[in-house]
Structure 1
Amino acid sequence: MAGADGYGLKGHHVGLDWSEFQRLKSLGMKALEDGENAAGSELLDAALDLWRGGALADAPAGPVLDSKRRFFEESRLEVIAIRADAQIKAGLHQRAITQLAAVTSEHTLHEGLHAQYVRALALGGRRAEALGVLRTLRTRLVSEIGTEPGAPLRELQLGILSSEPGMV
């Protein structure tokens, strides 16, 4: 309903994608905590399936909405990382690889997502590719923001090079 100050929602049975996303995320995380990796992963998939493009894509730019956009995007990335960890633990390396390849292409400097991607590649028997991803990320970090990868990525690289299963 339109009013003088914009649009508003009225009704007792109004559903919002954000509310459903949060509900599915909570259920998925609970399932993971209970050791149900496959079920938890499926619930997190369902939560992520609600996303269609960027959050608030049609809303005008501004400091308040930009901070909300960032909040929503960070929430989405958190669920992607949690789901990837569950898939890796469940031995679904290829599924994690496919999903993480896309998201790391969008977020080229996100060390946490790259670490998940590298772990999935290494555990999936693709060590050379994993090391290539690390090399590319390091080059980007150094050239774009002037910093080396953090300790977790350096330790991951050493684990892959030494072929220590517990390090990956």
Structure 2
Amino acid sequence: MKILLADSNEVRREALTAQLIKLGAAFSITPLAGEASLMAEVERLRPDVVLVDMARPDRDMLDSLPALNGAPPVVMFLDNDDPGFMQQAISAGVSSYHGQDVAPDAAKLVMQLAVAFFQRNQEVAAKLQEVEGQAAQRRTIDAAKRVLMKEERMGEPAAHRFLQRRAMDQQKRLADVAADYLAAQTCKGQKP
């Protein structure tokens, strides 16, 4: 597992790195360079996990998380308990939020769980986007059928068959043919 370790405190960063290395050779740990931006390093290194370890909440670090756009998962360890900051962190895209009292051997499990939950959330988000796309296509097809029914005095089955025939003739998807039809009607000055 490739880990990008983001912590401005060098002593704490080195201690955590040593602890993680003891847990297993499966970890490849790269500290975030002092002046490097989190976004640039994530893009350059493509880590499996970003591990944020800090003594106090860092608003600048939190502000940079949404720019990661959901990849990779971010695990955050903090020394203090701040429920307000926790909510902000989760809203910003932190996958897993923990107090510093997590035992070093549990850190491995925490990161593995964060990756698993992150991947599952990505799958759910992709499925949601697919379903929303299908719903939008359905609305376009229904709108085209309504125009056909009103302007051409067709029944719903006839309007649907009309769009289907056009889709087959043009070798296009039904939703694309419906969108083209609506655009043509709009150009003619008719409201869909």
**Pair in the same fold by TM > 0.5:** no
More helix by share: 1
Larger relative contact order (Cα-Cα within 8 Å, sequence gap ≥ 6): 2
TM class, shorter-chain normalised? Answer: under 0.3
